[in-house]
Structure 1
Amino acid sequence: MGKGKAKAKQVKGKLKETAGGALGDERMQAEGRGEQMTGKAQETAAKAAERLKKSGQ
């Protein structure tokens, strides 16, 4: 997964968390936080893969 898709997942998670808060839906909030964390991890992995490619590995 590329950095762009990972960022999109983070944004989607933030929107879901915010909507859950507005609706009083704790489960939706938790799902949103989970999506944000997944997106951050995927973004970190994509950055690491780019660094490896640049270093010639």
Structure 2
Amino acid sequence: MKGNAKAKQVKGMLKETIGKTISDRHMQRAGKNDQLRGKAQEMAEKAAERVRKGIGH
């Protein structure tokens, strides 16, 4: 799952960069959105992992 979160972040960075290059604000915002979603997913996965370790599973 971690790879998926990182992939979303990278995809977002690419979208944002392309959006800046072609002056497409919608694409830039979509890219930033993808990055934030990927980061949130990554943080949720880390939190779930800590809970599993704390519970002993």
Backbone CA RMSD of aligned residues: 1.0
How many residues are treated as equivalent by the alignment? 56
Alignment deviations for residues 3-31 of structure 1 (CA, whole Å, 9 cap, x no partner): 21101100000000000000111100000
* Paired position in structure 2 for 1:12: 11
Give TM-score scaled by structure 2 length: 0.92
Runs ≥4 in structure 1, deviation > 3 angstroms? none
- 1:31: which partner in 2? 30
TM-score calculated relative to the size of structure 1: 0.92
**In the alignment, residue 50 of structure 2 is paired with which amino acid?**
R
Give structure 2 stretches of 5+ with no counterpart: none
Between the aligned residues of both structures, percent identity stands at 57
Unaligned stretches of 5+ residues in structure 1: none
